[in-house]
Amino acid sequence: MRILYLNFKMRYINKTRFYFEKIIESLNGEFYGPGHTPKKTIELGVASFVKDNGPYDIILCDEYIIQDFSNENSPKFRNHACNFPVTELKRAIEWRDFLADYKGLKIIVLVQSDYWNFSNKHIEVLKKTGSFFICYGEEFIISKKEVIKPKFDVRGLNKSIYEGWNDNFYKFVKNQKKKIISFPELVSKKDAGNTPFRKKRRKWLCIGANYDARVVARQYIGRNNFRPDIWFRILFKVSEKINFNIYNKFWTLKLLNYLWGKSIETSKFCYTCGAITQYPITKFFEIPVKNSLLISPNIKGLDPLGFKNGNNIIVSEPEQLAKVEKWLVNNPKKTEKIAMNGQKLILNKHIYESRIKYIKSTFKRIFKSEFKGSFWQKGGYYFR
């Protein structure tokens, strides 16, 4: 099977996109786009490239084809590191037109998207350009209507997210479920932590964006514990003050991922959440793979991913952390076992090395016209 991936070679602090590219590489996929392909070849156009190098059984494409690109210098294009001019991202306009007319199998990859704020125009582009879509399945997405009378008691990000949240993508996934290749976040076996649980030198950690649950959790953690996440906040503030973008350089992204990984691995208890949207974001995988105990509110995606409260995760609201900590400290063997079970789940089900076989079998079904959608249930990947 010949696979072509229309792709911008770039890196984000979130490594999901990078690991998905690794999956395609393992399937001997070819890459076309800035950072991958000589400029002269790109200037000839994607249609010319496909004509000269095809035919291809499947063509994949980044989510950049749904962008507006009305302002090529917009800061939203600078949260990544790349080795080509940012204006090259406008190549996605050509790709969008090509895919709209292309008659073969085409899959849009949406692993770097914020699903909560898709516009109607974004949805229209998806319908015109894609045969299938790699993204969160319906088992990981809730409707805004499911959040009843939210209270924004702390100065977190939930309020701003809620105000910009719509159900456009939620409805799209529901209506197009036969075309959805369900793809939650993931890590790599190389991310696994080797520090024994009992030898971790810190008790608590809560890193990441200021979602409300995390803000409340940090208020508790900071009363009796040193908070290593403070150093990250100082770093971000200093960088902003001196106008130094830490998100658009390969070396800074590599350093940040290293420091975050070390902070997680040296901490026993790690609290996170999925914001008000309740998404199972990357930290739900980054924490347990380090053999640290994942503690989180109950979100929709936990059961499909294979998480079980008291077995490989502790489910708790941030206001209950004092009670949770008392139980953890008084039950060290059970606590260590839960952390170990969490790492086992991730290494068995949610590393890119394991996902290769899922994507390969999915592509085979698509090529044979046998694919009717996929989903996750209790840690397993299934076809409809």
> Which long-range contacts (C-beta less than 8 Å, at least 24 apart) are formed by 93-96?
93/65, 93/69, 94/45, 94/46, 95/6, 95/46, 95/61, 95/64, 95/65, 96/65, 96/66, 96/125, 96/129
Domain regions of the chain by residue span: 3-184+353-383, 189-349
pLDDT given at position 77: 47
Q: In 3D, which of 152, 292, 322, 295 has the Cα closest to residue 222?
A: 322
Q: Residue 343 corresponds to which tokens in the numbers above?
A: 């790492």
pLDDT in tens, the chain (384 residues): 999 999 999 998 889 999 999 999 999 999 999 999 999 999 999 999 999 998 999 999 999 999 877 665 453 446 788 888 888 888 999 999 999 999 999 999 999 899 999 999 999 999 999 999 999 999 999 999 998 767 777 677 888 899 999 999 999 999 999 999 999 999 999 999 999 999 998 999 998 888 999 999 999 998 766 666 666 777 777 887 888 888 888 888 898 899 889 999 999 999 999 999 999 999 999 999 999 999 999 999 999 999 999 999 999 999 999 999 999 999 999 999 999 999 999 999 999 999 999 999 999 999 999 999 999 999 999 999
Residue 264, exposed/middle/buried by CB under 10 A (0-12, 13-18, 19+)? buried
Rounded distance between C-alpha atoms, residue 66 and residue 180, angstroms: 17
* CATH for the stretch 189-349: 3.40.50.2000
Which distant-in-sequence residues (6+ apart) come within 8 Å of 315 by Cβ?
295, 296, 297, 298, 302, 309
Q: What is the pLDDT of residue 156?
A: 79
pLDDT value, residue 13: 87
Cα distances from 112 to residues 10, 171, 227, 282, 350, in angstroms, run 12, 19, 29, 11, 17
Residue 226, pLDDT score = 61
Q: Do residues 373 and 384 lie in contact, with contact meaning Cβ atoms separated by under 8 Å?
A: yes
Q: Return the pLDDT at 225.
A: 67
Q: Residue 166: what pLDDT?
A: 95
